[in-house]
Amino acid sequence: MENKDLTDKEIQVPIFLMPGVKYNLKGDWFTVSKAMYYRVAFKEGAVFVTPTPQRSHVEHYLERGRIEEQENWRQIWISNPFLKFPPGWEISIGPPFSGATARFRVRRETTPVDNFVSVYLDHYDRLGCFGSPYWEVYPYSEDDSIARCDINETTELIELIGTALEYLEKRPSKGPGSETP
């Protein structure tokens, strides 16, 4: 493990400190009264500990639990259909941003990393006007359009992804990247 002399330097990344623990930094002992993130600096031989506005892990966990309950994520997780992907496809699962309930990327093993199809699940039909929970595949064709299918039409979803992957092979240097809806 590498040793670093932090004298007269500020630690740039906030660190999480807990009450009831004695911390030793450069020979100076200190404690904190609240569990939270702090910035620690050493100036002229003294330790300066400053609270940061970052939330604690506990606060973040509780907030996330409220969102999960509001969105009914556990029930959605249980009710979502299983997907069977063909050999040679690689899947990267990501967080549900921009209103999607779930997201993942698909590419063939032989294509560049940035050449992928984006797939998301809109369980509440909030993003499009499908009328029920649906999957969306992007890009689907030459005009970078989308394709959608019902959440339970898993065979159709796999076919849509396959068609989109064939399209992407025709434009190997242009993946959806930041254009992903």
Range of the domain at 98: 82-174
Provide the pLDDT for residue 3: 36
Amino acid identity of residue 103, one-letter, is: R
Q: Are residues 27 and 90 in the same domain?
A: no
Of the pLDDT bands very low, low, confident and very high (cuts 50, 70, 90), residue 53 is low
Q: Are residues 127 and 160 in the same domain?
A: yes
Cα separation, 23 vs 17, whole angstroms: 9
Beta partners for residue 38, in sequence order = 15, 51
Domain boundary among 47, 71, 95: 71
Q: Are residues 88 and 161 in the same domain?
A: yes
Please report whether residue 76 resides in a domain. Answer: no
Please report whether residue 170 resides in a domain. Answer: yes
Q: Are residues 91 and 157 in the same domain?
A: yes
Q: Are residues 101 and 51 in the same domain?
A: no
Q: Are residues 49 and 95 in the same domain?
A: no
For residue range 72-91, list pLDDT tens digits in order. 999 999 999 999 999 999 99
24 pLDDT above the threshold of 70: no
Cα separation, 150 vs 160, whole angstroms: 12
Please report whether residue 139 resides in a domain. Answer: yes
Q: Are residues 108 and 151 in the same domain?
A: yes
Give this prediction's pTM: 0.65
131 pLDDT above the threshold of 60: yes
Q: How many domains, in total, are found in the chain?
A: 2
Whose CA is closest to 81, among 8, 157, 146, 10? Answer: 157
Q: Are residues 118 and 150 in the same domain?
A: yes
Phi, psi of 39 (to 5 degrees): -100, 135
Provide the pLDDT for residue 83: 97
What is the CA 106 to chain-centroid distance, rounded? 16
Query: Is 164 exposed, middle or buried (CB count within 10 Å of its CB: 0-12, 13-18, 19+)?
Result: buried
Provide the pLDDT for residue 64: 84
2 pLDDT above the threshold of 70: no
Please report whether residue 179 resides in a domain. Answer: no
Q: Are residues 98 and 153 in the same domain?
A: yes
Report the share of the chain in percent with pLDDT over 90. Answer: 43
